Amino acid sequence: MVVAEGDIGPDGVLVVDLDGTLVETDMLYETFWAAFAARWTTPFGAAMALRHGRAALKRWLNAEAQVDVSVLPYNEAVLDYVKRWREAGGRTALVTASEEALADRIAAHLDLFDDVHGSDGTSNLKGANKARFLDAQYGDTGYAYMGDNTADFFVWETAAKAITVNATHAVRAGAEELGRDVEHIASRVPSSEPYLLALRPHQWLKNILIFLPMLASHQIHGVTILQTVFAFVAFSLVASSVYVLNDLLDLSADRAHPRKRLRPLASGSIPIADSTWLALLPLAAGFVLSVFLGWKFVVVLLGYYVVTTAYSLFLKRAPIIDICTLASLYTVRMVAGAAATGIHLSVWVLAFSVFFFFSLAAVKRQAELVDCEAHGRTEAAGRGYSVSDLPLVRQMAVSTGYVSVLVLALYLYSPAVDQLYSEPRILWGTCLVLLYWMSRIHLITHRGNMTDDPIVFAVKDRVSQICFLLIMAFAVSGAVM
């Protein structure tokens, strides 16, 4: 018998599972990634704890992790169901295979449960173990059980009522075959879109910098175009892997952010258990593709992955060092383009990129601090800055941005320009356009309207697009006139 949603009552106890039911995530993975974000040695400690069983692992991870339970992706349909059950006079219990101390914190935050039970470091309260425990605890009065996967069949076999949450078709059908009253709520429609969004394909726009060595050297022909395109694809795949890893390490901080909380992993749109293959597949594909571009490109790509991983783990929390790292990650894209094609990068191009991208990295931090100030927060979550640092960060962004324009102006008098351009004086137009664009970016950021990474913003912004076309027009005119 399938009971329509809403036909709930006060008889017996409503027992609610945690992982995948009350919260749209798995707390075992949550605690692991929270602990890993704090200490890079977490995998080794977790392996040692696992030798004593999954319950011991959960207890160890909970002791190591700092999970902010106030921002977890709670299932609103489940919360509403529990509230209505209590309003009707029924009792509720949170019973989970997660560590009991963690379940206690969640229950205290929600204030919706009369009883709380979880794994105790020795016994893993899941499947048959949970069924036996619930029979002993609530068997006399009967209980309804709310769960989400096949492990819950053991409980549904003895429960008075089975309630599935975001369950697959197979789980829903299996629950109905048990001969119990069954109710299905919050059924999720499978979709590939959240997985694609987690890879952040819009961030691949940054990798357009890989084309710069080919364009700046005027070596635009079939072979270099093909090499650069391959480098772009390989770099983008590895970058997507890093974005997934970064999101896993930043879950609590992202959930506290007004926009980042909507990211697929932070919002629970995709199971956190899927994150492992979601990070490894593009990483493997990117490095396989890089082999065809030579060992120099492989080394650059590997260096990029190591630095970005270090940034995700600890460098992003180190003031100034984080900005230097971000600037270097922009520049390394140009180095990757040069390594893939064998094109020599001039010292002028490298000098310009260092100052230019340091400015944009500082703009990114400035935008975060301006947002914190606007929302009454004193610190940027997961970063090493407070709102009081805003004037200094703003000065760094502005000064290095204008220095990059100065480097470009000095470059116009170098011998390399005479070799590449027949009319170098026309290139002064690029300096003026860049000076205007840089000033406008700083003004937009100062006003709190920089809501994207500066490069992603520039690609979407109409005025920035016009500035780019003007710069290209000046460059082409200087070369052909």
State the Cα torsion 152-154-155-156 to the nearest 10°: 80
> What percent of the chain stands above pLDDT 70?
96
Signed CA dihedral, 381, 384, 388, 393: sign only: negative
Question: Are residues 371 and 457 located together in one domain of the fold?
Answer: yes
* Whether pLDDT at 5 is above 50: no
- Residue 179's pLDDT band (cuts 50, 70, 90): confident
Q: Residue 56: which residues within 8 A CB-CB, separation 6 or more?
A: 49, 50, 121, 122
| pLDDT mean over 217-221 | 83
| pLDDT mean over 332-343 | 93
* Whether pLDDT at 129 is above 60: yes
Question: Are residues 221 and 282 located together in one domain of the fold?
Answer: yes
Q: Does a structural domain hold residue 205?
A: yes
Distance CA 158, CA 230 (A): 57
Question: Are residues 306 and 419 located together in one domain of the fold?
Answer: yes
- Report the pLDDT value the prediction gives residue 386, as an integer from 0 to 100: 86
Does residue 307 contact residue 61 with C-beta atoms inside 8 Å? no
Does residue 175 contact residue 162 with C-beta atoms inside 8 Å? yes
Domain count, the chain: 2
- Report the pLDDT value the prediction gives residue 11, as an integer from 0 to 100: 59
Q: What is the CATH number of the domain that holds 137?
A: 3.40.50.1000
Domain region containing 288: 195-480
Average pLDDT over the chain reads 89
Which has more pLDDT, 232 or 38?
232
The number of angstroms, rounded, from the C-alpha of 448 to the middle of its chain's C-alpha atoms is 22
71-111 pLDDT tens trace: 999 999 999 999 999 998 899 999 999 999 999 999 999 99
**Range 378-383 contact pairs with CB under 8 angstroms and sequence separation of 24 or more:** 381/252, 381/253, 381/256, 381/257, 382/250, 382/252, 382/253, 382/316, 382/317, 383/316, 383/317, 383/322
Distance CA 231, CA 295 (A): 12
Classify strands 161-165 and 13-16 as parallel, antiparallel or unpaired: unpaired
Question: Are residues 331 and 375 located together in one domain of the fold?
Answer: yes
Using alpha carbons only, give the angle 81, 111, 22 rounded to the nearest 5 degrees. Answer: 45
Question: Are residues 170 and 203 located together in one domain of the fold?
Answer: no
Question: Are residues 179 and 203 located together in one domain of the fold?
Answer: no
Burial of 245 (0-12, 13-18, 19+ CB in 10 A): buried
* Whether pLDDT at 3 is above 60: no
- Report the pLDDT value the prediction gives residue 2, as an integer from 0 to 100: 37
Residue 105 CB neighbour total at 10 angstroms: 17
Q: Residue 10: which residues within 8 A CB-CB, separation 6 or more?
A: 85, 88, 89, 90
Domain end position, chosen among 154, 185, 216: 185
